[in-house]
Amino acid sequence: MKPFATVPSPRLFLGVGVAILVAISAASIALDVKSRSDAQGVDHTLDLLTKLSDARLLVSRAESASREFYQTSGRGFLDEYHATLGMVAPAFDELQESMSDNPAQAEALANLKQLVIRRFAISSERVRLQAAGDQAGIAALKARTEGRALMLAATTSFDRLAAEEKRLLSVRALASRHTSQLLLAVNLAGTALILLLAATLIGEAQRARQVQDREMRAAAAANELLEATVAERTQNLRMAHEELRRSMAILNSTFASMTEAVLVLDTKGDILFSNPAAGRLLGYRPGMSLGQLWAELTPFQADGSTPLARTETPAARALRGEPLEGQELVLRHKDRLEPVHVVANCCSLFDVTGEISGAAVVYHDLTASRETERKLLQAQKLEAIGQLTGGVAHDFNNMLTVITGMTETLVACLAGQPELLSVAELIDQAAERCSGLIRHLLAFARKQPLQPRHVDINTTIEDLAKLLRPTLGEQIEIRLALQSGLPTALVDPSQLANVLINLAINARDAMPDGGKLTLETASVDLDRADVRDTEDVRPGAYVMIAVSDTGTGMPAEVLGKVFEPFFTTKEVGKGSGLGLSMVFGFVKQSNGHIKVYSEQGFGTTIKLYLPPASGDAEVTAPPLVPLSGEAATILVVEDEALVRNFVVGMLQSLGYRTVAVADGGAALRHVENDQPFDLLFTDLIMPGMTGRQLADEVRRRRPGTKVLFTSGYTHQAIEHQGRLDQGVLLLTKPYRKSVLAQMVRRALGHEVV
């Protein structure tokens, strides 16, 4: 007989494999702990960079306020300097506490703090000398030139600290990424080892059964030997089964606890193994083949819109033997509304001959992280549009004020010339449309000044429904479902009416063949479960308004973009794309919440959640008190020459005397010269001194002075959180002559608040 080749014992092999598996599990746990630690280090460094930037901004603000005070001696800059200076030391203390784990950075920060303290000691001395009018002391202080050198040194220290923290951030982020990759590799190695152990145990069990059969066929020849052999083999079989049971329990526990979806396939596409995460993430059900699974899933590339060929999916590539790691794709399930963004890693499985026998595919869910990235990009885009809107609104509304006023005058003068009158009316209509677009942009950007009131929502909707019936047409049925005893809401009534009209017109456009428009109100309480998916909504009581239609509805891809500015599904020339973005901006600026429910072919419902009013309703303003005696004199302050000349002409045509100046300094000189006037009519946004600062200075010199502000963009000069300050009168640009006359009479006739 030929001698048997020496082979390792299966039990020894299994024992070694289990030991290696335990070691891999321990390594995986250690790497997971390290990954969490690395992530905490990255967060800590990001927090330090933010605090360092805040401290630097405070130092810069204090330095800028001191310089402005040197140049203008304005009291507002002095107050800003002291207020900002008071925040510098706490900011540095907080930074020192956060940097206590880095002695080198902490020491550099302490040196920087001393530089800043010395610099602001000099600045405070200069401020004191400036306030006292001590020019000789100021000259002596300037001659030392110490302040500039200290500020330069402080700026350099700030740059070094930030550069070091950014370097630490890069190092920690790289370490975190390497740890995550190593953790994934360890998990895959553990998976492969478990599968190999399972295959070895199954093979050993089959071999044991074959040996048992041979021994049983030899029973007739050696009964006693058979009994001993059967007992021995039976014991071995029990031990093998116990090892198999233990290994399978470890395998099942490991895979059941994984958040990644795991599929093990054979070359025919049958799924040999899956874990519970595969059902949650991919919609896999036991017994499904790969073909049946792909029949319910549509794969796309990482952009979510480019289809991915089935031959390029991770499983198909692994079955071809192609190495694959980190392939991103988007999966859309036919029974699920939201797609799933995943990253796939897979490897081919080989039999003893080296041929591919299957593949193991691991899918990691990236949906939450990609959604966070999308929201961040969307927030940055909307913030950029909002900042652009404010600057455009100020200059554009100045020009529109002149255009609107001049076209109004042209229309009045050309009453007997029909051809020219029609041209002037077209110009007037175009200017009015431009004005509306600017108002919509400001509403979307949440920068329009609101005048909230206690509003009876049911009464408002009932009055509005009477106006909507002839506007929407007979083919649209209007239905009201108003809850009795509804509390009043704290909103701007005119803006609310515009919002409801806008939504009603959108509903009409969605029902070209007619339908039903339902306006519903209710008092609701939103708990934490209702608002858990919305970041900026607080739970509590709200007044709900629902506008529902039976129109065409919207698909999911459109529903996610309805509040974006300039997005519209209407034909070219039939919509600006600002309607719903204006609604969104108004509701958010009013501290409310908005939700859209729509299904294609079944209509749309838009729900507005508005804050309820608290306390007693506002008292109606007293009637206007007409001026007695001669016409009033109005001091006009406007930096734009075209607008200034236009306003003076309009006011003089209304019978008022005017004094026009270009800036706040000229206006204050007029006041200091004891020149009489009855009303200060000032633009809000002006270079140097704002209209609000000018009004405060004038009232300090002449208590009781009546003020009327005007602007196309307030920039929070006379409002907070979008609401006009108490007692402030604002004439929004562009305006017409009749509105100007009404606001001037109101400003002159009311008591000063």
Say whether 266 sits in a helix, a strand or coil: strand
What was the pLDDT predicted at 717?
A: 44
Q: What does the pLDDT read at residue 52? A: 79
**Cβ atoms of residues 597 and 619 within 8 Å:** no
Domain-embedded: residue 432 = no
Which of 11, 320, 24, 328 is closest to 191 using CA atoms? 24
Query: Could you tell me if 54 and 151 lie in one domain?
Result: yes
Domain match, 35 and 162 both: yes
The model's confidence at residue 505, banded by pLDDT at 50, 70 and 90, is confident
Q: Please tell me the predicted confidence (pLDDT) of residue 633.
A: 92
Residue 427 in this model has a pLDDT that exceeds 60: yes
Specify whether the CB–CB gap between 730 and 723 falls below 8 A: no
Q: Which H/E stretch holds residue 223?
A: helix 223-257
CATH number of residue 153's parent domain = 1.20.120.1730
Residues 602, 695 share a domain: no
**Which region among 31-45, 119-133, 602-616 has the lowest average model confidence (pLDDT)?**
31-45
- Which pair of structure tokens corresponds to residue 110? 């302490």
Strand ranges (DSSP E) for 572-696? 593-599, 603-610, 633-637, 657-661, 679-683
Helix (H, G, I), strand (E, B) or coil at 348: strand
Same domain, 300 and 268: yes
51-75 burial by CB neighbour count: b if 16+ within 10 A, else e? bbeebbebbebbbebbebbeeeebe
What pLDDT shows up at residue 697? 92
- pLDDT category at 661 given cuts 50, 70, 90 is very high
Per-residue confidence (pLDDT) for residue 727, from 0 to 100:
63
Name the pLDDT band for 97 (thresholds 50, 70, 90).
confident
Dist CA 324 CA 347 (whole Å): 7
- Which pLDDT belongs to residue 635? 93
213/515: higher pLDDT: 515
Residue 216 forms part of a structural domain: no
The more confidently predicted of residues 708 and 98 is 708
Question: Does residue 594 sit within a domain?
Answer: yes
Per the CB < 8 A criterion, the answer to whether 243 and 225 are in contact is no
Give the count of alpha carbons within 13 A of 93, CB side only.
5
Is residue 268 pLDDT above 80, yes or no? yes
Tokens 């290994």 sit at which residue? 247
Strands 261-266 and 271-274: antiparallel
Same domain membership, residue 639 and residue 603: no
At 586, the amino acid letter reads: F
597 neighbors 622 (Cβ within 8 angstroms): no
User: How confident is the model over 671-676, as a mean pLDDT?
Assistant: 88
504 alpha-carbon distance from chain centroid: 28
Q: Is the pLDDT of residue 628 over 60?
A: no
Which of 455, 391, 421, 603 minimizes the C-alpha distance to 515?
Answer: 603
Q: Show which of 187, 218, 242 is a domain's final residue.
A: 187
Query: What are residue 640's phi and psi, to 5 degrees?
Result: -85, 120
Cα 604 → chain centroid: 24
* Residue with more model confidence, 550 or 146: 550
Q: Report the alpha-carbon distance of residue 250 to residue 454 in Å, rounded.
A: 65
Asked if 680 contacts 670 with a C-beta cutoff of 8 angstroms, the reply is: no
**pLDDT for res 680:** 93
pLDDT at 339: 84
The 10 Å CB-count burial string (b at 16+, else e) for 14-23 is beebbeebee
Q: What is the DSSP letter of 449?
A: P
Compare 351 and 380 and report the one with higher pLDDT. Answer: 351
DSSP string, 667-730: HHHHHHTT---SEEEEESS-SSS-HHHHHHHHHHHSTT-EEEEEES--TTSSEETTEEPTT--E
Greatest mean pLDDT among 176-185, 378-387, 610-619 lies in 176-185
Poorest-pLDDT segment among 262-266, 440-444, 609-613, 641-645 = 440-444
57 pLDDT above the threshold of 60: yes
Give the dihedral sign, CA 219/220/221/222. positive
Query: What CATH number is attached to the domain comprising 315?
Result: 3.30.450.20
* Nearest residue to 554 (alpha-carbon basis) of 602, 493, 487: 602
> In this structure, are 495 and 540 located in the same domain?
yes
**Residue 574 pLDDT level (bands cut at 50, 70, 90):** very low
pLDDT value at 716 more than 80: no
User: What is the four-CA torsion angle of 326, 327, 328, 331, rounded to 10 degrees?
Assistant: -130
CATH number at residue 727: 3.40.50.2300
Strands (E) across 488-602 are located at 489-491, 515-526, 540-549, 593-599
3-state secondary structure 268-285: CCEEEEECHHHHHHHCCC
Q: Is 574 exposed, middle or buried (0-12, 13-18, 19+ CB in 10 A)?
A: exposed
Least confident of 246-260, 363-377, 620-634, 719-733: 620-634
β 324-333/297-301 pair status: antiparallel
Say yes or no to pLDDT of 286 above 80: yes
Does the pLDDT of residue 117 top 60, yes or no?
yes
Q: Mean pLDDT lowest for which of 1-10, 324-333, 356-365, 528-537?
A: 1-10
| Residue 427: inside a domain | no
Measured distance CA(78)–CA(327) in Å, rounded: 58
> What are the backbone dihedrals phi and psi of residue 369, each rounded to the nearest 5 degrees, phi first?
-65, -40
Average pLDDT of span 185-196: 79
Same domain, 173 and 25: yes
Q: What is the pLDDT of residues 636-650, one digit of tens each?
A: 998 888 888 888 888
Task: Report how far residue 429's alpha carbon sits from residue 415's, in angstroms, rounded to the nearest whole number.
Answer: 16
What pLDDT is attached to residue 82? 81
pLDDT at residue 570 greater than cutoff 60? no
Tell whether 496 is covered by a domain: yes
pLDDT score of 668: 92
Question: What does the angle CA 389 – CA 393 – CA 396 come to, to the nearest 5 degrees?
Answer: 130
Q: Which domain holds residue 664?
A: 633-749
Please tell me the distance from the alpha carbon of residue 14 to that of residue 202, in angstroms, as a whole number.
12
Q: Which amino acid is at 484?
A: S
249 membership: H or E segment, kind and range: helix 223-257
Q: In this structure, what token pair is assigned to residue 161?
A: 């600290």
Asked if residues 576 and 437 have their Cβ atoms less than 8 Å apart, the reply is yes
More confidently predicted of 584 and 568: 584
Q: What value does the mean pLDDT take over residues 554-578?
A: 58
681, pLDDT greater than 90:
yes
Strands 657-661 and 340-350: unpaired
pLDDT at 454 over 60: yes
Across the beta sheet with 356-365, the strand order is 271-274, 261-266, 356-365, 340-350, 324-333, 297-301
- The residue out of 333, 365, 397 marking a domain boundary is 365
Round the average pLDDT of the chain to a whole number and report it: 76
Asked whether the predicted pLDDT for residue 651 surpasses 50, the reply is yes
- Shared domain for 535 and 659, answered yes or no, is no
Higher pLDDT, 371 or 173: 173
Domain assignment present for 163: yes
Q: Are 566 and 440 in contact (CB under 8 A)?
A: no
Residue 624 confidence (pLDDT): 40
Q: Helices 10-72 and 75-98: crossing angle, nearest 10°?
A: 160
Number of domains in the chain: 4
Same domain? For 595 and 664 the reply is: no
pLDDT band at 566 (very low <50, low <70, confident <90, very high): low
Residue 227 placed within a domain: no
Q: How far is CA 211 from CA 44, 127, 215, 216, 218, in A?
A: 63, 101, 6, 9, 11
Residue 265's nearest CA partner among 242, 284, 291, 290 is: 290
Q: Are residues 644 and 569 in the same domain?
A: no
The pLDDT-based confidence of 530 (bands split at 50, 70, 90) is: low
Q: Does residue 614 register a pLDDT over 90?
A: no
Average pLDDT over residues 15-32: 77
Tokens coding 611: 């804050």
Together in a domain, 592 and 645:
no
**Which of 307, 340, 365 is the last residue in one of the domains?**
365
Spell out the residues 6+ positions from residue 304 whose beta carbon is closer than 8 angstroms to its own.
330, 339, 341
Closest-CA residue to 198 (of 1, 349, 409, 403): 349
The percentage of the chain sitting over the pLDDT mark of 90, rounded to a whole number, equals 4
Distance CA 299, CA 322 (A): 19
Contact predicate 154/112, CB 8 Å: yes
- The structure tokens listed for 420 are 């020219």
Considering only residues 713 and 180, tell me which one the structure prediction assigns the higher pLDDT: 180
Residue 416 lies in a domain: no
CA pair distance 684, 694, nearest whole angstrom: 9
- Does residue 668 share a domain with residue 601? no
Question: Mind listing the pLDDT tens digit for each residue in 230-242?
Answer: 788 888 888 878 8
Q: What's the pLDDT at 435?
A: 60
Residue 363 has pLDDT above 60, yes or no: yes
What percentage of the chain reaches a pLDDT higher than 70?
A: 77
